[in-house]
Amino acid sequence: MNATIKDVAGGKPLAAILRNATVRFADFTAIDRISLDIEEGAFYSILGPSGCGKSTMLRLISDLIPLADGEVTVFGKSTEAARLAREFAFVFQEATLLPWRTAIENVCLPLEIGRNRGIDIPVSDWSPTELLELVGLKGREKALPHELSGGMRQRVAIARALVCKPKLLLMDEPFGALDEMTRDHMNLELLRIWQETGVTILFVTHSIPEAIFLGQKVLMLKANPGRVKEIVDIDFAYPRETSLRDTLEFTRYSAHLRQLLETC
């Protein structure tokens, strides 16, 4: 079975491969035969109407829910093996920090869990302090979550996600709860982090401009059942600046994606 997957991949390094991946909840098909190659180091934005299976797809790749049919491999491993090897990390809409731990203590948590269980886990080349610096929180190491803004808490969650040196970052509407200005700023920061770390990113969002601004590709899903509607290449070079959003080309992508979304 794996031989077939490698053939199809054509020797390109791939972070994740889905082949006719299907997820069912009882007799409801949430994801229906999705096939996809995610290149290593890529940035994919994922858009689609509510309930089309965006979160389900990330949860499938991260081994949180089982596959009903088809195949999924992450860096050539089963999703379970990839989870155990800490190949990926998840960032949710809510930062889910432990309120009684400081920023740095929250960042260190995955390392402590690994150590306590006696598991040999990968460790980032950046120290926890350097990771907090990478996400723009230098000097706030000792702050408790309630002393930080929503955007800052999400930065801590990103630093924590990076501490086990994941090769794949799964982000499910991570900036959805932030105000627009903070979100725009976080978009720039995330692109910088992506370029500095080389991590592969799958980024779910409800926002068409956010999807275009961030992604090399925008994966549009359709609902009932969840399938790939179209993959749109976004041909803007990096680093990207906020003013990109004011260009005609950006508006064209935006119009195309809106039209796709309306017919999902």
Ligand X SMILES: Nc1ncnc2c1ncn2[C@@H]1O[C@H](COP(=O)(O)OP(=O)(O)O)[C@@H](O)[C@H]1O
Question: Using CA atoms, how far apart are residues 81 and 156, in angstroms rounded to an integer?
Answer: 26
For the bound state, the minimum distance from the C-beta of residue 224 to ligand X, rounded and expressed in Å, comes to 8
45 lies in the binding site for Mg ion (CB under 5 A): no
55 lies in the binding site for Mg ion (CB under 5 A): yes
Question: Using CA atoms, how far apart are residues 28 and 15, in angstroms rounded to an integer?
Answer: 28
What residue 51 binds from Mg ion, ligand X, none (CB within 5 to 8 A, per partner kind)? ligand X
53 lies in the binding site for ligand X (CB under 6 A): yes
Q: Measured from the CB atom, is 56 or 197 closer to ligand X?
A: 56
For the bound state, the minimum distance from the C-beta of residue 122 to Mg ion, rounded and expressed in Å, comes to 28
Residues in region 15-34 near ligand X by CB under 6 A: 25, 30
Q: Measured from the CB atom, is 13 or 51 closer to ligand X?
A: 51
Query: How many whole angstroms from its chain centre is CA 251?
Result: 24
For the bound state, the minimum distance from the C-beta of residue 118 to Mg ion, rounded and expressed in Å, comes to 34
SS3 label, residue 263: coil
Closest CA to 35 of 51, 50, 14, 49: 14
- Residue 25 tokens read as 């909840």
Mark residue 41 as left, alpha or beta (left: phi above 0; alpha: psi -120 to 50; beta: remaining). Answer: left
48 lies in the binding site for ligand X (CB under 6 A): yes
When binding is defined by CB under 6 A, the residue of 56, 73, 79, 154 that contacts ligand X is 56
Q: Measured from the CB atom, is 166 or 174 closer to Mg ion?
A: 174
Angle at 85 between CA 135 and CA 168, to 5 degrees: 40
Closest CA to 110 of 102, 118, 121: 121
Give residues in contact with ligand X (CB under 6 A).
Answer: 25, 30, 48, 50-56
Residues contributing to the site for Mg ion (CB under 5 A): 54-55
